[in-house]
Amino acid sequence: MYYYLDEERKPRGPYTPDQLRELLMACTITSETRIAQKGDETWKPLREVFPDLAEEAPALPRVETSAASPATPEQTDFSFMGCVSSCFRQYAVFSGRATRKEIWSFSIFSVLLQIVLSILSLGSLNSLAGLLLLLPSLAVSVRRLHDTGRSGWHVFWSNVIPFIGLMLVVFALIAVLGAAAVMQMTMAHETMSAAQMPELPEFSRMAFGVLVVGVLTLLVGSIYISYVYLVAFFFDSEKGTNKYGPSPKYPDEPKN
């Protein structure tokens, strides 16, 4: 199975050789389009991998280009809006890879959009924008971890673990405050016998134990999510092709 780089240097595939022939005949790709198998360290022009197939390619009209702005099939838009557009085009795509600039650009765009909506006092739109931006933010985070050679499941667990810790803390605080309130009401109205009184302190000790577990879980989760997003925002791309697909940034360089 083979992948090819489209005009934006995004890997497409996988395709069989017969499917590549169909794409070639339909002029979707050319004999100069770079292809690679999963696990290959470099991209090569189709004509080098399948010389017989390249000979079948239909003739394309010659396009004159200036030396200042060469038009190549591998040219891509790594500008700020180009990266933001790429994230929206892959709104819920959790497979493949994303560059470091892609996640930075989309994160900055999301923050700026919500700041503008807040300044304009459009609170309802701000909340709606946050919900609409959540899925592509998670998707680009997963693809960014793939780009560094790490599993995208780290994004899921690094968000779930702190949430579990927070829920345990909230539950424990509610339980402790509830137990204290019940004890105060009992003492005020003298409706509880002496034999029943020790049950509340015991319950409070259990709630305190849950609170400690929740705080520790929240602490571990906070460290975990900090590490995951440190990797996503600051670690460079893994060169060549890894198990998540070809590198958009270093398609032609061998893996270290």
Mean pLDDT of the chain: 81
pLDDT tens across 197-245, in order? Answer: 545 556 677 888 888 999 999 999 999 999 999 999 999 999 888 888 8
DSSP, collapsed to helix, strand or coil, labels residue 12 as: strand
Quick one: tokens of 16?
């069989």
147 with 237: CB under 8 angstroms? yes
> How far apart, in whole angstroms, are the C-alpha atoms of residue 239 and residue 250?
5
Q: What angle do CA 84, 45, 238 make, to 5 degrees?
A: 50
> How far apart, in whole angstroms, are the C-alpha atoms of residue 228 and residue 163?
15
- Nearest residue to 23 via CA among 44, 46, 41, 39: 46
pLDDT tens across 11-58, in order? Answer: 787 888 888 888 888 888 888 888 888 766 677 888 888 888 777 766
Confidence of residue 70 (pLDDT cuts 50, 70, 90): very low
> How far apart, in whole angstroms, are the C-alpha atoms of residue 12 and residue 256?
23
**Helix, strand, coil fractions of the chain, as percent rounded to 5:** 55, 5, 35
Determine if the pTM surpasses 0.85: no
Query: What's the pLDDT at 89?
Result: 92
Classified by CATH at the fold level, domain 2-55 comes out as Dna Ligase; domain 1 (3.30.1490)
pLDDT tens across 97-133, in order? Answer: 999 999 999 999 999 998 998 888 777 888 899 899 9
For residue 256, pLDDT beyond 90: no
Q: Where are the domains of the chain?
A: 2-55, 80-148, 153-234
Query: What's the pLDDT at 73?
Result: 33
Residue-wise DSSP of 108-161? HHHHHHHHHHHHTT-HHHHHHHHHHHHHHHHHHHHHHHHHTT--THHHHHHHHH
In percent, how much of the chain has pLDDT > 90? Answer: 40
